[in-house]
Amino acid sequence: MLFGQKSMNVYIRILFFSFAVILFKPDFSYARPTVEEIEEFIFEQRKLNKTPDLIKKFGTDFTELFLSSTDLSGVNLSGANLREASLYGANLSNANLSKVNLIESDLTSANLNGADFSYTDLTNCDIRESTAENTNFRHSKLKNVSFFNSKLNKADFYKANLENIKLHGSELKGVNFNEANMYGADLKESNLERANFADAYLESSDFQGARAFYTNFKSADMTGALISRAKFYKANLSNTQITDTIAYYSIFQSSDMSESDLSRSNFSGSNIKSVNLRKAIANKTDFTGANLEDSNLLFLQAVESEFKSANMTRTKLAGANLEKSSFYETILRLSDLTNANLKAVNFDKTDLRSVNLKDSDLRQAAIWNSDLIGAKFDNSNLQGANVRYSNFAKTDISNSNLKNMLLFSTMGLETRIKELQELGVFTSVKDIEKALQEKKDLSYMNMEDLDLTGINLSGANLSYGLFEKTNFTDAILNQVNFKGADLSRANLEKATIQMANFEDAILNRTYMRGSKLDKANFTNADLRGAELWRSSLVGANFTNTNLEGTNLIQSNLYKAQFVNTRMHRTDTSGAILYKATLKDVRGITKNSLEQIIVRTKVKPKLN
């Protein structure tokens, strides 16, 4: 025998399974159907009142097929591969296209009403001028898809990827974009009435000219979006991230923006009337010319924001933090600012008639050329405030903290000057000098834009004061403590400021030409763009100082200390640097630093 019994059994089993595979192997090798075959099959199935199941009949390969204007309504194409297929003008209404590959396909002018595209990949598809009303796009991929001028009313894009989608001029009424990724989406001129963008990611999206009446954006991220000239009437924008956006000349009237973050955005010229901004954040935000009339801004945080020429009549600002914000020519008439933080704010030519400032913090505030007739200051803090040329008729400030407040040329309080002086108010520059003689603390005062030419404030404590654009020409300021003060764009030309302390001070673009600043301490100070031409800075300390763009031409820096100093674009041409110390200097090329070090060893020639 050629085989043993055991070998023969194995051989028989192999033959049996081989025949079984041949006889019973299912045939999945469908040939790609023609358009005629598809149309004929659909016709036959409809005659039998059956749903045309193209997958069961033809398999999944429909790639690159030309199906333009074909009636595919109600068919089953779930799981099909239609990559790069042409479906121009096709009728896909109520079709099952879930989990389909439609990458780079042409669906221009197609009817997609009621179709199921859930979990489908439509990346780079062209779907312009189509209709997709009540269509299911949940969890689908529509990156870079073009839907220009399409009708998608009540479509569902829940958790879909719509990155860079183009919906310009489309009808999107009642569409669900909940939790969708819409980074860079183009929604210009679209109709978003009653659409749902809750929790959607809309960073860098474009809403210019869009109509969003009663639209829900709750908890959405709209960072860096373009919202100019859009209409957001009665929209829900609560708890929404709207930072760094361009939203000028838009309508937000009667919308809910409570607890949203609007920081660093531009809302200039916008209609924000009767809007709920309770507990919102709007730091460094521009509201120039905006209409905020009758809005709820309770507990708003808007530090260093711009409200120039805004209409804020009857706004509710109780408990708001508006520190260092500007209200130039702003209308705040009849507004409630009870318990508001108004430290260092600028009220210039502001309408503050009948405003309630009870318990408000107005320390270092600038109140210039403003109308405060009938304003209430009960228990407010005006310490160090700078008040000039304003109307206080029918206003009582006597029960407020007036320590070191400047009150120059003010109307309505003329008969109470002596009483106010006894409460610590300064009504002239002479009062300031007198206070110094009495060794009074002059810290935290606002002396911005004052003319203090030739004044002698030697030894004064002016720490943390505000002196922007203040004129100190020829002033004597020896041993003055300017720690933490803001002297931006102040004029200290030819002033004597020896052994003064400028630690942590801001001296951006400060003019100090020809000044005597020997042994001055500039530790941690910011002198960017400062002018120190021909100034005497013998033994000055520039440790951790920012001297970017500072002019030190022909200045005397004998024995000055430059430790961890930033000297990018600092000009020391012709300056005396003999015995100056340079250690860990930053922002300067190695070659330039070596040249300066050489100059520290050169003894200046005596004239």
Task: Quote the CA–CA distance of 492 and 72 in Å, as a whole number.
Answer: 82
In a domain, 484, yes or no: yes
Can you give the C-alpha Rg of the chain in angstroms? Answer: 37
Task: Quote the CA–CA distance of 176 and 155 in Å, as a whole number.
Answer: 6
Look at residue 350 in the predicted model and tell me its pLDDT.
Answer: 98
Do residues 447 and 558 share a domain? Answer: yes
In a domain, 526, yes or no: yes
Do residues 550 and 481 share a domain? Answer: yes
State the alpha helices, DSSP H only, in 428-562: 429-437
Can you tell me the mean pLDDT for 465-483?
98
Query: Quick count: other Cβ atoms within 10 Å of Cβ 354?
Result: 18
pLDDT, one tens digit per residue, over 570-587 is 999 999 999 999 999 999
18 pLDDT higher than 70: no
Q: Which of 135, 225, 54 is nearest to 127 (CA)?
A: 135
Local confidence band at 31 (pLDDT 50, 70, 90 cut-offs): confident
Tokens of 128: 């312009």
Look at residue 78 in the predicted model and tell me its pLDDT.
Answer: 98
Local confidence band at 607 (pLDDT 50, 70, 90 cut-offs): low
Tokens 């660093």, located at residue: 264
In a domain, 597, yes or no: yes
Task: Quote the CA–CA distance of 464 and 486 in Å, as a whole number.
Answer: 7
Can you tell me the mean pLDDT for 159-169?
98
Q: Which helix (H) or strand (E) holds 387?
A: strand 386-388
Task: Quote the CA–CA distance of 547 and 523 in Å, as a whole number.
Answer: 11
Look at residue 50 in the predicted model and tell me its pLDDT.
Answer: 95
Do residues 402 and 530 share a domain? Answer: no
Which of 275-284, 397-406, 513-522 comes out lowest in average pLDDT? 397-406
Task: Quote the CA–CA distance of 325 and 294 in Å, as a whole number.
Answer: 20
Range of the domain at 379: 342-427
In a domain, 529, yes or no: yes
| Residue type (1 letter), 263 | S
Local confidence band at 20 (pLDDT 50, 70, 90 cut-offs): very low
Look at residue 30 in the predicted model and tell me its pLDDT.
Answer: 64
In a domain, 219, yes or no: no
Domain boundary among the residues 400, 427, 454 is at 427
Do residues 375 and 318 share a domain? Answer: no
Can you tell me the mean pLDDT for 529-548?
98
Do residues 402 and 377 share a domain? Answer: yes
215 pLDDT higher than 90: yes
pLDDT, one tens digit per residue, over 102-116 is 999 999 999 999 999
Do residues 453 and 368 share a domain? Answer: no
Residue 372 sits in a domain whose CATH number is 2.160.20.80
Do residues 520 and 455 share a domain? Answer: yes
Coil, strand, or helix at residue 204?
Answer: coil
Do residues 406 and 293 share a domain? Answer: no
Reduced to 3 DSSP states, what percent helix, strand and coil does the chain have, rounded to the nearest 5?
10, 20, 70
Look at residue 398 in the predicted model and tell me its pLDDT.
Answer: 76
Can you tell me the mean pLDDT for 434-443?
91
Local confidence band at 300 (pLDDT 50, 70, 90 cut-offs): very high
In a domain, 86, yes or no: no
**Length of the chain measured in residues:** 607
Tokens of 597: 């070090």
14 pLDDT higher than 80: no
Look at residue 24 in the predicted model and tell me its pLDDT.
Answer: 38
Can you tell me the mean pLDDT for 287-315?
99
Write the CB contacts of 72 (distance below 8 Å, at least 6 apart in sequence): 42, 87, 90, 91, 92, 95
Do residues 416 and 565 share a domain? Answer: no
Do residues 319 and 360 share a domain? Answer: no
Determine contact, residues 2/15, Cβ cutoff 8 Å.
no
CA contacts within 13 A on the Cβ side of 464: 10
Domain boundary among the residues 371, 400, 427 is at 427
Is the whole-model pTM more than 0.85?
Answer: yes
Number of folded domains in the chain? 3
In a domain, 59, yes or no: no
In a domain, 536, yes or no: yes
Task: Quote the CA–CA distance of 155 and 152 in Å, as a whole number.
Answer: 5
Write the CB contacts of 154 (distance below 8 Å, at least 6 apart in sequence): 133, 134, 173, 174, 175, 176
HEC readout, 306-346 = ECCCCECCCCECCCCECCCCECCCCECCCCECCCCECCCCE
Average pLDDT, the chain: 94
Write the CB contacts of 245 (distance below 8 Å, at least 6 apart in sequence): 222, 223, 224, 225, 226, 227, 262, 265, 266
Do residues 588 and 489 share a domain? Answer: yes
Task: Quote the CA–CA distance of 176 and 195 in Å, as a whole number.
Answer: 6
Write the CB contacts of 48 (distance below 8 Å, at least 6 apart in sequence): none
Do residues 512 and 602 share a domain? Answer: yes
